[in-house]
A and B are shown apart, each in its own frame.
Chain A
Amino acid sequence: SQQGEEDPQALSIQEGENATMNCSYKTSINNLQWYRQNSGRGLVHLILIRSNEREKHSGRLRVTLDTSKKSSSLLITASRAADTASYFCATDFNNDMRFGAGTRLTVKP
Protein backbone atom coordinates (compact mmCIF):
# COMPACT_ATOMS: atom_id res chain seq x y z
CA SER A 1 0.00 0.00 0.00
CA GLN A 2 1.20 3.51 -0.71
CA GLN A 3 -0.27 4.74 2.55
CA GLY A 4 2.17 6.28 4.97
CA GLU A 5 2.55 4.82 8.42
CA GLU A 6 3.45 7.13 11.27
CA ASP A 7 5.65 6.15 14.16
CA PRO A 8 5.21 6.35 17.07
CA GLN A 9 1.45 6.12 17.41
CA ALA A 10 1.60 8.30 20.51
CA LEU A 11 4.26 10.59 21.96
CA SER A 12 4.26 12.48 25.25
CA ILE A 13 6.89 15.12 26.02
CA GLN A 14 7.46 18.11 28.28
CA GLU A 15 7.11 21.66 27.05
CA GLY A 16 10.38 22.91 25.59
CA GLU A 17 11.51 19.50 24.40
CA ASN A 18 11.76 18.50 20.75
CA ALA A 19 9.28 16.09 19.18
CA THR A 20 10.15 13.81 16.28
CA MET A 21 7.59 11.85 14.30
CA ASN A 22 8.34 9.48 11.46
CA CYS A 23 6.44 8.41 8.37
CA SER A 24 7.29 5.36 6.29
CA TYR A 25 5.75 4.35 2.98
CA LYS A 26 6.11 1.51 0.52
CA THR A 27 5.89 2.86 -3.03
CA SER A 28 7.27 5.75 -5.04
CA ILE A 29 5.91 9.19 -4.29
CA ASN A 30 5.75 12.57 -6.01
CA ASN A 31 5.16 14.59 -2.85
CA LEU A 32 4.66 14.14 0.86
CA GLN A 33 2.70 16.45 3.12
CA TRP A 34 2.35 16.80 6.88
CA TYR A 35 -0.87 17.90 8.56
CA ARG A 36 -1.92 18.72 12.12
CA GLN A 37 -5.34 17.96 13.59
CA ASN A 38 -6.48 19.47 16.84
CA SER A 39 -9.16 17.60 18.74
CA GLY A 40 -12.56 17.99 17.11
CA ARG A 41 -11.20 20.00 14.18
CA GLY A 42 -10.21 19.43 10.58
CA LEU A 43 -6.69 18.85 9.33
CA VAL A 44 -4.43 21.84 8.84
CA HIS A 45 -1.63 21.76 6.29
CA LEU A 46 1.88 22.21 7.71
CA ILE A 47 4.50 21.44 5.07
CA LEU A 48 4.74 19.95 1.58
CA ILE A 49 8.00 18.36 0.48
CA ARG A 50 8.59 17.17 -3.07
CA SER A 51 10.37 13.95 -3.95
CA ASN A 52 13.46 15.82 -5.17
CA GLU A 53 13.80 17.76 -1.91
CA ARG A 54 15.57 16.48 1.19
CA GLU A 55 14.67 19.02 3.85
CA LYS A 56 12.25 21.89 4.43
CA HIS A 57 11.75 24.28 7.29
CA SER A 58 8.80 26.31 8.48
CA GLY A 59 9.22 28.15 11.76
CA ARG A 60 9.79 25.51 14.44
CA LEU A 61 9.03 22.70 12.00
CA ARG A 62 11.65 20.75 10.10
CA VAL A 63 10.73 18.01 7.64
CA THR A 64 13.17 15.61 6.05
CA LEU A 65 12.59 13.16 3.23
CA ASP A 66 14.73 10.14 2.39
CA THR A 67 13.34 8.54 -0.75
CA SER A 68 15.93 5.75 -0.66
CA LYS A 69 14.57 4.66 2.72
CA LYS A 70 10.99 5.64 1.84
CA SER A 71 10.68 7.66 5.00
CA SER A 72 10.08 11.19 6.24
CA SER A 73 10.37 12.81 9.61
CA LEU A 74 8.72 15.82 11.20
CA LEU A 75 10.66 17.60 13.94
CA ILE A 76 8.97 20.17 16.15
CA THR A 77 11.54 22.12 18.14
CA ALA A 78 10.94 23.82 21.49
CA SER A 79 7.48 22.31 21.76
CA ARG A 80 4.59 24.15 23.39
CA ALA A 81 1.38 22.94 24.99
CA ALA A 82 -0.44 24.32 21.95
CA ASP A 83 1.40 21.77 19.77
CA THR A 84 -0.71 19.03 21.38
CA ALA A 85 -2.50 17.47 18.41
CA SER A 86 -2.44 14.54 16.01
CA TYR A 87 0.01 14.73 13.14
CA PHE A 88 -0.52 12.97 9.82
CA CYS A 89 1.64 12.37 6.81
CA ALA A 90 0.06 12.13 3.37
CA THR A 91 1.83 10.59 0.42
CA ASP A 92 1.01 11.41 -3.18
CA PHE A 93 1.76 9.43 -6.31
CA ASN A 94 0.14 10.39 -9.60
CA ASN A 95 -2.61 12.39 -7.87
CA ASP A 96 -3.46 9.49 -5.55
CA MET A 97 -3.11 10.91 -2.06
CA ARG A 98 -3.14 8.62 0.98
CA PHE A 99 -3.07 9.52 4.68
CA GLY A 100 -1.47 7.60 7.51
CA ALA A 101 -3.17 6.88 10.83
CA GLY A 102 -1.28 9.64 12.62
CA THR A 103 0.87 10.28 15.67
CA ARG A 104 -0.86 11.64 18.76
CA LEU A 105 1.46 14.22 20.37
CA THR A 106 0.86 15.42 23.92
CA VAL A 107 2.97 18.30 25.20
CA LYS A 108 2.80 18.69 28.98
CA PRO A 109 3.16 22.19 30.44
Chain B
Amino acid sequence: NAGVTQTPKFQVLKTGQSMTLQCAQDMNHEYMSWYRQDPGMGLRLIHYSVGAGITDQGEVPNGYNVSRSTTEDFPLRLLSAAPSQTSVYFCASSSLQGGNQPQHFGDGTRLSIL
Protein backbone atom coordinates (compact mmCIF):
# COMPACT_ATOMS: atom_id res chain seq x y z
CA ASN B 1 0.00 0.00 0.00
CA ALA B 2 2.00 2.98 -1.30
CA GLY B 3 -0.40 5.78 -0.22
CA VAL B 4 0.16 8.96 -2.23
CA THR B 5 2.99 8.88 -4.77
CA GLN B 6 4.38 12.00 -6.40
CA THR B 7 6.78 12.17 -9.32
CA PRO B 8 9.26 13.60 -9.99
CA LYS B 9 10.85 14.41 -6.61
CA PHE B 10 12.96 17.23 -8.05
CA GLN B 11 12.72 19.27 -11.22
CA VAL B 12 14.45 22.31 -12.66
CA LEU B 13 12.73 24.24 -15.43
CA LYS B 14 13.46 27.29 -17.48
CA THR B 15 11.00 30.17 -17.56
CA GLY B 16 8.30 29.48 -20.12
CA GLN B 17 8.63 25.71 -20.11
CA SER B 18 5.67 23.52 -19.30
CA MET B 19 5.54 20.34 -17.30
CA THR B 20 3.22 17.98 -15.47
CA LEU B 21 3.58 16.92 -11.86
CA GLN B 22 2.18 13.47 -11.32
CA CYS B 23 0.17 12.30 -8.32
CA ALA B 24 -1.34 8.87 -7.75
CA GLN B 25 -3.08 7.34 -4.74
CA ASP B 26 -4.07 3.73 -4.11
CA MET B 27 -6.53 4.27 -1.25
CA ASN B 28 -9.61 4.75 -3.44
CA HIS B 29 -10.02 8.28 -2.08
CA GLU B 30 -12.52 10.53 -3.77
CA TYR B 31 -10.94 13.80 -2.68
CA MET B 32 -7.55 14.88 -4.01
CA SER B 33 -5.79 18.20 -3.85
CA TRP B 34 -2.63 20.07 -4.74
CA TYR B 35 -0.82 22.48 -2.41
CA ARG B 36 2.27 24.58 -2.69
CA GLN B 37 4.54 25.23 0.28
CA ASP B 38 6.72 28.31 0.39
CA PRO B 39 9.15 29.33 3.16
CA GLY B 40 7.44 31.01 6.11
CA MET B 41 3.98 30.28 4.77
CA GLY B 42 1.47 27.55 5.30
CA LEU B 43 0.38 25.22 2.57
CA ARG B 44 -1.80 26.98 0.02
CA LEU B 45 -4.43 25.11 -1.96
CA ILE B 46 -4.00 25.28 -5.74
CA HIS B 47 -6.71 22.99 -7.12
CA TYR B 48 -8.81 20.15 -5.80
CA SER B 49 -11.11 17.40 -7.01
CA VAL B 50 -14.03 15.71 -5.24
CA GLY B 51 -14.13 12.83 -7.70
CA ALA B 52 -13.32 11.71 -11.23
CA GLY B 53 -14.32 14.34 -13.75
CA ILE B 54 -14.78 17.10 -11.15
CA THR B 55 -12.17 19.74 -10.37
CA ASP B 56 -12.26 23.19 -8.82
CA GLN B 57 -9.95 26.06 -7.99
CA GLY B 58 -8.37 26.65 -4.65
CA GLU B 59 -6.70 29.69 -3.18
CA VAL B 60 -3.88 30.12 -5.74
CA PRO B 61 -4.94 28.52 -9.06
CA ASN B 62 -3.40 30.93 -11.58
CA GLY B 63 -0.81 29.35 -13.86
CA TYR B 64 -1.89 25.79 -13.09
CA ASN B 65 -4.30 23.31 -14.67
CA VAL B 66 -5.61 19.99 -13.40
CA SER B 67 -7.74 17.13 -14.64
CA ARG B 68 -9.15 14.02 -12.96
CA SER B 69 -9.88 11.26 -15.43
CA THR B 70 -9.56 8.44 -12.88
CA THR B 71 -10.01 8.13 -9.14
CA GLU B 72 -6.33 7.28 -8.71
CA ASP B 73 -4.58 10.06 -10.64
CA PHE B 74 -4.58 13.84 -10.29
CA PRO B 75 -1.86 15.52 -12.39
CA LEU B 76 -0.94 19.18 -12.02
CA ARG B 77 0.18 21.06 -15.12
CA LEU B 78 2.28 24.19 -15.24
CA LEU B 79 1.41 25.84 -18.52
CA SER B 80 4.26 28.36 -18.81
CA ALA B 81 6.59 28.20 -15.83
CA ALA B 82 7.49 31.42 -14.01
CA PRO B 83 10.09 32.00 -11.27
CA SER B 84 7.23 32.74 -8.84
CA GLN B 85 6.21 29.11 -9.19
CA THR B 86 9.43 27.91 -7.58
CA SER B 87 8.10 25.97 -4.61
CA VAL B 88 7.53 22.57 -3.09
CA TYR B 89 4.33 20.99 -4.36
CA PHE B 90 2.34 18.48 -2.34
CA CYS B 91 -0.49 16.27 -3.44
CA ALA B 92 -2.94 15.01 -0.83
CA SER B 93 -5.94 12.73 -0.72
CA SER B 94 -8.71 11.88 1.70
CA SER B 95 -11.92 9.93 1.67
CA LEU B 96 -14.01 13.10 1.84
CA GLN B 97 -13.54 16.78 1.17
CA GLY B 98 -12.88 19.02 4.10
CA GLY B 99 -11.23 18.95 7.44
CA ASN B 100 -13.30 16.22 9.06
CA GLN B 101 -11.04 13.58 7.55
CA PRO B 102 -7.25 13.20 7.75
CA GLN B 103 -5.38 14.20 4.64
CA HIS B 104 -2.72 11.82 3.30
CA PHE B 105 0.22 13.61 1.71
CA GLY B 106 2.85 12.61 -0.80
CA ASP B 107 6.49 13.49 -0.19
CA GLY B 108 6.42 16.43 -2.53
CA THR B 109 7.98 17.68 -5.75
CA ARG B 110 10.68 20.32 -5.35
CA LEU B 111 10.45 22.60 -8.36
CA SER B 112 12.89 25.34 -9.34
CA ILE B 113 12.17 27.75 -12.16
CA LEU B 114 15.19 29.56 -13.55
Contact = CB atoms under 8 A, between A and B. Distances in A.
A42 B90 contact: yes
Contacts of B104: 45
B57 to A, nearest CB: 12
B100 interface: yes
Majority SS at the chain B contact face: loop
A48 B101 CA distance: 8
B2 interface: no
Interface in A12-49: 29-33, 35, 40-45, 48
Nearest to B3: A42
Interface stretch (B13-21, B40-48, B63-71, B73-81): B40-48
Contact of B98 (A35, A95, A99, A102): A95
Given A42-B90, A44-B105, A30 B98 contact: yes
Interface string B1-27: 000100000000000000000000000
Contacts of A100: 42
A33 B74 CA distance: 24
Interface in B71-95: 90, 92
A63 to B, nearest CB: 14
Interface string A42-70: 11110010100000000000000000000
A90 B99 contact: yes
Nearest to A5: B42
Contacts of B44: 99
A95 B94 CA distance: 12
B4 A97 contact: no
A91 B106 CA distance: 20
A41 B99 contact: no
Contacts of B105: 42-44
Interface of B: 4, 35, 40-45, 90, 92, 97-108
Given A33-B102, A42-B92, A99-B42, 5 more contacts: A33-B99, A41-B107, A42-B105, A43-B90, A92-B98
- What are the 6 tightest A-B residue pairs by CB atom distance, in nearest-first order? A92-B99, A42-B105, A95-B98, A99-B42, A45-B102, A99-B43
